[in-house]
């Protein structure tokens, strides 16, 4: 923001490409202190409208540049193998994840990690050589008490 002095003694505030004249009674905090000057507001709106119209005009020969920034994550092979070794599940009865983790460990599955994924969704992964899905299938009755919708991670 740059403040310039005009030839008639009034101030002009420059913001970017927009020049805004400031009335004398608003420049020194006089009568209008704490309220907006209608002329300044209308000048800003008019300048913004003119600037917007100027920016909208596009030459037919030149295509407008469209920028759509999106985070792009490309997993490496180790990440994919790690994810494929686990399964997703929903916790039943709205139990706290820490309670479920303790129950799984108390049942003798100390090498099974229960990783929270948000809300009632968890990722189950084995730290041992045993495959997670076969471990869960072996004790299906126990895991059905804690989890529903148990599915492998694919793709």
- Report which of residues 107 and 51 the model is more confident about: 107
Residue-wise DSSP of 47-89: HHHHHHHHHH---TTSPPP-----------HHHHHHHHTEEEE
The model's pLDDT over 31-43, given as tens digits with 9 standing for 90+, comes to 444 444 455 555 5
Is the torsion defined by CA of 112, 101, 144, 148 positive or negative?
negative
Domains located in the chain, CATH noted: 2-56 (no CATH), 77-152 (3.30.70)
The model's pLDDT over 112-145, given as tens digits with 9 standing for 90+, comes to 999 999 889 999 999 888 888 889 999 999 999 9
The model's pLDDT over 49-104, given as tens digits with 9 standing for 90+, comes to 555 544 444 455 555 566 777 778 888 999 888 888 899 999 999 899 999 999 99
Count other C-beta atoms under 10 Å from residue 85's C-beta.
15
């Amino acid at each position: 923001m740059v403040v310039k002095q005009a030839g008639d003694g009034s101030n002009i505030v420059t913001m970017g490409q927009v020049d805004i004249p400031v009335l004398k009674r608003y420049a020194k905090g006089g009568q209008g202190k704490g309220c907006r000057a209608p002329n300044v507001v209308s000048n800003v709106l008019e300048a913004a409208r003119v600037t917007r119209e100027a920016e909208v005009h596009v030459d037919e020969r030149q295509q407008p540049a469209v920028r759509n920034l999106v985070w792009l994550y490309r997993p490496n092979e180790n990440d994919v193998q790690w994810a494929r070794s686990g399964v997703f599940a929903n916790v039943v009865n709205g139990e706290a994840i820490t309670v479920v983790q303790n129950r799984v460990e108390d049942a003798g599955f100390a090498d099974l990690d229960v990783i929270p994924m948000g809300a009632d969704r968890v990722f189950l992964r084995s730290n041992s050589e045993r495959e997670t899905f076969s471990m869960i299938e072996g004790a299906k009755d126990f895991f059905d008490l804690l989890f529903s919708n148990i599915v492998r991670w694919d793709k």
